Amino acid sequence: MSDLLQRLRGRGWRMTSQRRVVAEVLDGDHVHLTADEVHALAVDRLPEISRATVYNTLGEMVSLGEVTELSTDGRAKRYDPNAHRPHQHLVCSGCGVIRDVHPAGDPLTDLPPDQRYGFTVSEAAITYRGLCPGCA
Amino acid sequence: MSDLLQRLRGRGWRMTSQRRVVAEVLDGDHVHLTADEVHALAVDRLPEISRATVYNTLGEMVSLGEVTELSTDGRAKRYDPNAHRPHQHLVCSGCGVIRDVHPAGDPLTDLPPDQRYGFTVSEAAITYRGLCPGCA
DNA sequence: TTAGTTGCAAAGGCTTTGCACGCGC
DNA sequence: GCGCGTGCAAAGCCTTTGCAACTAA
């Protein structure tokens, strides 16, 4: 918990109440939130915080490499605070909820050199799709 | 080539010049295009075609299951006409180009039952990211 | 004929930006 | 105090939709 906040502080990132609240909200929940959901939760703790600041802040966390941006099929982007723990995602086609999963093995090694077409491949992401218990 | 068009005709899909041109453009190019790129290429062949029709037509092809929608990085969606050939994608982080790859094995089987959290998992997509020869 | 398709323009969802004020360091 | 961060509102990008005219079967 608040692992993210500690990482950000450790990098000497200028801290404000808005940034702290965004980091806490992101890290404190077990599901991956959209920017608007982050804003809604942030408002509970800091009523004056603006949507623009939430968007800007999330964007900076992504630039710093401390948060990963997940874009699922035309819906709003979701933000994943576990940027340093290798994992994959399970997405519900119904409600869009995203949950982390940890299958065995490294997907990167599954792509043989003759399938790389000269690309310098640096990461591999697996997205499993289906319906969550609530939507099934 | 124009495999897609044949599949669509085979399903008894009502054919119009707009739909034919969209299918030809999508299938005729080896990269996966955005809706706007499809529109630009379609205009070359049929100057009056509207953006709305291109969007609607692509959406219907996706609903029919003949085209797959790819959402990369929160930018515009791209459309993949090879919906029936199992494959994965190699994405260039520099220019955004997407190329199909065919690694061995079925990624779906890599997710053990105890990692499914009650979800009914129906598909798995792997996205390999890196830099293409031109951007490296 | 007639249900389904098109084009236009306007609206919609999500996100970014310009600018003046405010605050962390 | 300085420079970056914030809030507001407006603009931006991509996409969808309402409606009247049109057309494939």
In the prediction, which pLDDT does A2 show? 57
A52 CB inside 7 Å of strand C? yes
Residue B94: what are its φ and ψ, rounded to 5°? -80, -65
CA distance B87 to A1: 38
Q: Which residue has the higher pLDDT, B58 or B2?
A: B58
Q: What are the strands, taking DSSP E only, across chain B? A: 33-34, 68-70, 78-80, 88-92, 98-101, 120-131
Cβ–Cβ gap B126/A126 under 8 Å: yes
Confidence of residue B64 (pLDDT cuts 50, 70, 90): very high
Q: Which nucleotides of C are covered by protein (CB under 7 A)?
A: 4-10, 13-18, 23-25
Cβ–Cβ gap B111/A101 under 8 Å: yes
pLDDT at A29 over 90: no
In the prediction, which pLDDT does A16 show? 96
Q: Please give the distance of CA B7 from its chain centroid, rounded to a whole number.
A: 15
Whether A17 and A61 map to the same domain: the answer is yes
CA distance A39 to A47: 10
Domain carrying residue A117: 88-130
B135 belongs to a structural domain: no
CA distance B26 to B83: 12
In the Cβ-directed half-sphere of A76, how many Cα atoms lie within 13 Å?
A: 12
Cβ–Cβ gap A121/B72 under 8 Å: no
Number of domains in chain A: 2
Whether B102 and B74 map to the same domain: the answer is no
Whether A117 and A96 map to the same domain: the answer is yes
Classify residue B84 by its DSSP letter. Answer: T
A16 belongs to a structural domain: yes
Whether A23 and A58 map to the same domain: the answer is yes
**A64: Cβ–Cβ under 8 A, 6 or more apart, which residues?**
A8, A11, A13
Cβ–Cβ gap A132/B111 under 8 Å: no
Whether A67 and A101 map to the same domain: the answer is no
A136 belongs to a structural domain: no
B94 belongs to a structural domain: yes
The candidate with the shortest Cα–Cα distance to A118, out of B132, B66, B59, is: B132
Whether B19 and B56 map to the same domain: the answer is yes
Whether B71 and B46 map to the same domain: the answer is yes
The candidate with the shortest Cα–Cα distance to B30, out of B93, B81, B65, is: B81
- Shortest distance, CA A22 to any CA of chain B (angstroms): 20
pLDDT at A55 over 60: yes
Whether B21 and B52 map to the same domain: the answer is yes
The two three-digit tokens of residue B31, written as one number: 């990269």
Bridge-partner residues for B121, per DSSP? Answer: A130
Residue A60, CA distances (Å) to A19, B8, B41, B132 in order: 10, 44, 36, 26
The two three-digit tokens of residue B100, written as one number: 């199909």
A29 belongs to a structural domain: yes
Residue A19: what are its φ and ψ, rounded to 5°? -65, -40
Nucleotide minimizing C1' to CA distance for residue B78: D14
Q: Is B125 exposed, middle or buried (0-12, 13-18, 19+ CB in 10 A)?
A: middle
Whether A98 and A120 map to the same domain: the answer is yes
A64 belongs to a structural domain: yes
Instruction: Tell me the per-residue pLDDT of A84-114, one tens digit each, with 9 for 90 and over.
Output: 888 899 888 877 788 889 887 788 877 888 8
In the prediction, which pLDDT does A13 show? 93
Query: Last residue of a domain, which of A38, A64, A80?
Result: A80
3-state secondary structure of A130: strand
Confidence of residue B98 (pLDDT cuts 50, 70, 90): confident
Chain A residues touching chain B at CB-CB below 8 Å? 69, 71-74, 77, 90, 92-93, 99, 101-105, 107-108, 110-112, 115-133, 136
Whether A111 and A73 map to the same domain: the answer is no
Query: Last residue of a domain, which of B80, B97, B115?
Result: B80
A24 belongs to a structural domain: yes
Q: Which residue has the higher pLDDT, B132 or B35?
A: B35
Give per-residue burial for A20-46: e unless 16+ CB within 10 Å, then b: bbbbbbbbeeeebbbbebbbebbbeee
* Residue A8's CATH number: 1.10.10.10
Whether A60 and A116 map to the same domain: the answer is no
B136 belongs to a structural domain: no
Whether B33 and B99 map to the same domain: the answer is no
